[in-house]
Every structure is written in C-alpha cells, then in structure tokens.
Amino acid sequence: MDLYFLGTGAGMPSKQRNVTSIALSYVDERGGFWLFDCGEATQHRIMHSPLRLSKLEKLFVTHLHGDHIYGIPGLLASRSYHGGETPLAIYGPKGIKHWIEITLKLSQSRLNYPLEIVEIEEGIVLEDDHFSVETARLEHRVDSYGYRVKEKEKPGRLLIEKLRNLGIPSGPLYGKLKQGLDVDLEDGRKLAAGEFLGLSTPGRTVAILGDTRVCEASLKLAENADVLVHESTFASKLHDLAFKYHHSTAKDAAMTAKKAAVQTLIMTHISSRYQGEEEEELLNEAKSIFPNTFLARDFWSYAVPSKKAKQNK
C-alpha cells in the first residue's frame, strides 16, 4: 500500500506544486489504485508517474472546489483512450453527479467503460473483501469530507500439512477453516480454525482529509491511523487567515495527529507563498509538536509500513 502525491498545492497550481490529487496504490491487494481528488492536470501528472490511468478503479472527491475537481472530465475521457474498460466508481458530495454528467454531456464525451457516481453522506461508503472506507463531514466553506481507509486483517496461511497429518483430505472443509470458521467432522471431532491458521496480519489505516479547520470529525477519522494526510495551507503565524478561509495551519495538523495518536503525519495542500526554504518553516513547526511528520511534494511517495503478524485466537 503506497501513497503517491500527484499534486500538493493549495488553491492554484505553481511551478513547484500542482493542485490536489493523491493516489493510493494497492498493487499487491487489487492490482490498481484509487485517487483522492483530481485537480486540474492530474492526468498529466499520472503520465509522469508509475501509475497507469487504465488501472484507476475509484475516485474519492473531498469537496467541490475547483482545485480538487477541475481535472475530472479530462481524466475520465482519457481513461478510455488509455485502454480503461473496467468499471470506475466516483464518490463525492452532493452535486458531483450533476456536475460530471452535464460536463460529459455538453462536451459529447463518450466513455468506453461503466461509470458509477455515488453522492456520499457520513458513514461507511464502501466495503469489500479487502477494505472499508468511512467518511465524515469536516469544517470548510462548502461540504468537505475526509476519508478513513481501513485495510482488513489478512488471515494467516492454512496449515495444510497439519490437516493432512490428521487424515483430513483437501476439500470444502479447508475453505471453511481458511475463512476462520470452526468445523465439525462427521466422526465427532471438532476443528478450531485458529489451530490450523498461521499468523494473521493486522490491516493498516490511512486517513485522507479534505480542506478543513480543526474539528472533531478530523480526530474521529484519524484515530490511531497508521498515516494521516492533512492539509497544512499556512504556517501558524497566519492562523487568523487560515481560520477565515476555513483552512488549517501546520501546527493544527500536528496537534490533530498528536491527539488522534496516529503513527505518521503527511502535510499537503501547501500555499504557493511557501517556496524553497520557506517550506521548512511548515515542517519544523509541525515536527516541534509531532516529530514523525513529512511534507509532501509532487511525485513523492510513501510506503505505508506493514504491520507485524499476530497469533490467531
């Protein structure tokens, strides 16, 4: 599981930072990637990255400000030309469906794949065999959401030799045990699944927040996360400006990370006023509160560390 930052700027693009888009790559789990927000020229950034547009499976939109959505129409159209034929799902606040549909209609764009658009509310918006995605409304000038992506625990491998030594041939019983289900044999023996599975691996949690002031929803989504991606538009000396425009400072992001007991903080959505050495002001400010902090840059990636396997109960 890797985070790949395609755009890390705030408001408008600069020579150093494009507007917001973050990829969550899960090649080992599913063979593709998800996007969180899609600012203008995101498809161009993907062309200069290890990602393949045809492998995009889902797009999660935090809010409807232009620097987070203006890249969507072009990306959707280009996905067809890049060989994308598998279904694509888009999740976002109310209004995203109308905006995308009218844009595609007026531009006469034709997609070669099924497109599903889901307008979200707070709660679980997606759950499958590998992940669940929970969202909550943050505090911004428009409806803005954060996403909590939780990887499900990976069960340990089935101890086949142990089963064979007990005279149990392969078959449907193996599948049940692999799923963690206890089995009653016809001869009266009971097989506890935990005794026939190797060490399981706990899932990882990544919280990716949209634009926001400090709020309780941020803490809820970030609680005990392995990685928190938090906007850090300004340094704390511009706190009043950040508050006025419903944004966060580097200090705000660090305080949220500390209170939520996350493992790693990654700051993004950086104002274009911070260039070169001025960026260090943001990083140093955050690290003084939460040492394990990184300042994202365009085309920078972060591998979310795997967790240690644990014994099944």
- Give per-residue pLDDT as tens, 6-44: 999 999 999 999 999 999 998 666 679 999 999 999 999
Could you give the CA distance from residue 48 to residue 41 in angstroms, rounded to a whole number?
11
d(CA 297, CA 225): 21
Q: Is 68 annotated as a binding residue?
A: yes
Is residue 287 assigned to a domain?
A: yes
**CB-hemisphere CA count at 13 Å for 195?**
8
Instruction: Indicate if the pLDDT at residue 311 is higher than 70.
Output: no
* Cα separation, 217 vs 206, whole angstroms: 15
Residue 67 labeled ligand binder: yes
Look at residue 313 and tell me if it is in a domain.
no
44 labeled binding residue: no
With residue 3 as reference, give the H or E element that holds it.
Answer: strand 2-7
Residues 23 and 127 both lie in one domain: yes
pLDDT tens digits, residue range 160-198? Answer: 999 999 988 888 889 888 888 899 998 889 999 888 888
Is there a binding annotation on residue 140? yes
Q: Based on the fold, state whether residues 175 and 234 are members of the same structural domain.
A: no
CA distance 228 to 27: 21
User: Binding residue per annotation — 187?
Assistant: no
- Active-site positions? 67
| Domain extent for 294 | 2-154+201-303
Residue that terminates a domain, selected from 172, 196, 220 = 196
Q: State whether 168 and 209 are in the same domain.
A: no
On whether both 256 and 209 belong to a single domain, the answer is yes
Instruction: For residue 48, say whether it is annotated as part of any ligand binding site.
Output: no
Domain assignment present for 309: no
Domain count of the chain?
2
Residues 31 and 66 in one domain: yes
Q: What is the pLDDT at residue 307? A: 86
Kindly give the pairing relationship between strand 21-25 and strand 33-36.
antiparallel
CA–CA distance, 63 with 221 (Å, rounded to integer):
16
For residues 48 and 68, state if they share a domain. Answer: yes
Residue 293 included in any domain: yes
Q: What CATH number does residue 210 fall under?
A: 3.60.15.10
189 and 80 co-located in one domain: no
Q: Does 211 show up as a binding residue in the annotation?
A: yes
Each residue's pLDDT tens digit, 194-233? 888 888 889 999 999 999 999 999 999 999 999 999 999 9
pLDDT band at residue 310 using 50, 70 and 90 as cut-offs:
low
Sheet holding 293-295, edge to edge: 123-127, 131-137, 145-151, 205-209, 227-231, 264-268, 293-295
Same domain, 36 and 147: yes
Residue 20 lies in a domain: yes
Q: Is residue 276 part of a domain?
A: yes
- Of the three residues 196, 215, 249, the one that is the final residue of a domain is 196
Q: Are residues 106 and 242 in the same domain?
A: yes
- pLDDT band at 257, cuts 50/70/90? very high
pLDDT digits (tens, 9 = 90+) for 76-110: 999 999 999 999 999 999 999 999 999 999 999 99
Same domain, 220 and 106: yes
Whether 135 and 191 share a structural domain: no
Q: Is residue 312 part of a domain?
A: no
Pair (11, 146) in one structural domain: yes
Contact assessment for residue 139 and residue 158, using Cβ atoms and an 8 Å cutoff: no
The reply to whether 112 falls in a domain is yes
- Tell which of 196, 220, 251 closes a domain: 196
